[in-house]
Chains A and B, each alone.
Chain A
C-alpha cells in the first residue's frame, strides 16, 4: 500500500513544498516534517540497521527516534520536532551510518 494511513481534512491553510530524496512533496504550513511524510504516503521512512525492518514515525513527540531523517544536510534530525519549511531538503536514512574514508 502506498496511500497515507491518514486522511487530510480539507482546509484553507497555506501549502509549502519540500523535497524527499529529490522528489517534490507538498505539505501544509505548520506540519512537522514527520507529519508531512506520514501524510504523503504510507511507505517506510527508514530501515533498521540490524535487520533491515521497515519503520515509520512512531511517537510524534520526540521520544522514540523512529523518525530520524537528514534535513538540509544535517543527519539524525528528529523530524517530528521540526516544522517543514518551503524548499527544505529531506533525505531518508537507511541502516547504520557508513564510515567514510577520505583520502588526501
Chain B
C-alpha cells in the first residue's frame, strides 16, 4: 500500500493486484469498513486507514479479488479475477506477498476448533467475531496483542500457554538495548502484559507436549510445564509460533531464496532497496523478510522511490538520498526484531512432531510417513513429495514445506539452509482449465 501510493504520487502508473476483497493486507484487514469502529482492536490497527486512503489516487488502478498465479520474464504478471485470467506487463513489478502463520503441527492441530491465532484476529477484523472459551497457545507477541484485544472485547482467553522459556528471555536480553530504539513497541508490549495480568488470565511459560483432543466438538488441550501435566477444556485453541514470509509466488517467479536462521524460514534474496537478482522484480514487506508492519510501510516507500528513480532516468545512487527519512524509519522499526526472534523463537517441537501427527494437511501425510520416506532414501524435498504426496495438495506446500525441511534436516543431519525449498510452480494457486483456455496472451 505504501509503495503504490508513493509510486503514484511520483508520477508512475500503478496497477495494484490484491487477492483480498478489500485493502489492508492482514494487519489492517477490513480497515476501510471498520474505520475506528472496533476500538478493541487498538490504535495501531487504526493507523491503516491513512495507508488505505492514500490508494485513492488517479494513477492507481486497484483490482481487489485478484490472485496472481504466474510471473514470467518481461516481467509479465498473470492473475485470476472472478474465474477469469488475464496478463499485464510492466517494467517493474513489486511482489509484496506478506507473511503467513508458521505451520504449527502437533497432535490434534487439524481438529475443528484449532486454528492460528492470526486467523481468529482476522475474524475479529472482518466480522467482529470474538473467540469464545479460547486458549492461546504457542509463542510470540501476537498472542499478547490478541489476548489484549479479547480482554477489551469482554471475552478474555481462558489461558495463555507459551512455549518460550525464561532462559530464552534472559539470553535475548543482550538484544534489548537495540530494541529500545523502538520504544513504542516495547511500551506497547509492557502495557499488554499488564492488561493480561490485571484481567487475571492464567499464563504458563516453558510449555511443551501440546496435544488437542476433541469430544463431540468440545476440545481439551493438554500440555506440560516442568514435567507437570495440565489440561484445559475449551472451544478454541489458537496457536502461534511466529509468522514467515509467503514465498510461493516468489519461488515460482524464479527468485533465489536465502535461509533466515534466526527466523527458521526462507526469504527472497534482495538488496537494501528490495531489488532482486531477477530483472524487473522487486520485493518489499514481510514477504521479503519478517520485520513487522511499520518496517514494511517504510520499505514500501524505499522500494517505490528506487523504482521511480529508474523510471525517471535518474541515477540509482540518488535513491538513498530521496529515501533518507524512510531508511531511518525502517532502521528503527527493525530494531526490535533480534530481541523478538531470540525471546520468542519457535518451539523445537513443531519442527519434529510425533510420528502420528499430520504434517501435510491437504494430503493427510503424517510425520511418521515422512520419516519413513527419508529413511528409505529420500534425500530432498522433491523425493519426499513424490514418495508421500506431502506438499502436493491444493495449498502447494504452504502448510507443510517448512516442517518437511526440518524433518529432513533432523533425519539426515543436513542443515536446513542446504536443503532447497520445495519447488513452487505456476499456477501458484489452482486455476480452472477454462480460465487457462480463455487466457489471451499478447505477444
Contact = CB atoms under 8 A, between A and B. Distances in A.
Interface of A: 1-2, 4-9, 11, 13, 28, 30-32, 35-36, 38-39, 42-44, 48, 50-51, 53-66, 68, 74, 76, 81-83
A59 to B, nearest CB: 5
Interface in B213-236: 216-218, 235-236
Interface in B110-130: 110-113, 115-116, 118-120, 122-123, 126-130
- Residues of B in contact with A, size category: 35 or more
Interface stretch (B184-192, B294-302, B392-400): B392-400
Contacts of A9: 128-130, 153
Contact of B217 (A1, A35, A59, A83): A1
A64 B236 contact: no
B11 interface: no
Given A59-B101, A61-B100, A7 B364 contact: no
A8 B128 contact: yes
B217 A60 contact: no
B254 interface: no
B138 interface: no
Given A5-B113, A28-B128, A61-B20, 14 more contacts: A1-B217, A7-B131, A13-B128, A30-B127, A32-B127, A39-B129, A42-B235, A43-B217, A53-B110, A59-B118, A60-B119, A60-B122, A63-B101, A64-B399
Interface in B8-66: 19-21, 26, 30, 33, 37, 65
A56 B395 CA distance: 15
14 contacts: A5-B236, A8-B128, A35-B127, A35-B129, A39-B127, A54-B112, A58-B119, A59-B100, A59-B116, A60-B115, A60-B119, A62-B19, A62-B20, A63-B101
A35 B126 contact: yes
* Chain A contact residues: helix, strand, loop or mixed: loop
B217 A28 contact: no
A76 B427 CA distance: 15
Given A42-B235, A76-B430, A64 B398 contact: yes
Contacts, number: 133
B83 interface: yes
Nearest to A31: B127
Contact of A63 (B67, B100, B153, B363): B100
B293 to A, nearest CB: 15
Given A1-B217, A59-B101, A31 B126 contact: yes
B21 A38 contact: no
Contacts of B123: 6, 35, 38, 60
A61 B65 CA distance: 12
A39 B100 CA distance: 23
A32 B65 contact: no
B235 A30 contact: no
A39 B128 CA distance: 10
Interface string B418-432: 000000000000100
B430 A82 contact: no
B100 A11 contact: no
Given A31-B126, A38-B123, A58-B116, A64 B395 contact: yes
B70 interface: no
Nearest to A77: B83
A82 B127 contact: no
Contact of A64 (B112, B216, B361): B361
Given A8-B128, A9-B130, A68-B394, A61 B119 contact: yes
Contacts of B236: 5-6
A36 B26 CA distance: 18
A60 B273 CA distance: 31
Contacts of B235: 1, 5, 42
Contacts of B131: 5-7
A76 B394 CA distance: 10
Q: Which of A28, A61, A81 has the most CB of B within 10 A?
A: A61
A5 B120 CA distance: 10
B118 A7 contact: no
Contact of A7 (B101, B119, B129): B129
B364 A51 contact: yes
Nearest to B116: A59
A54 B361 CA distance: 12
Nearest to B363: A50
A43 B113 CA distance: 10
B128 A11 contact: yes
Nearest to A39: B129
Given A5-B132, A9-B153, A58-B119, A63 B246 contact: yes
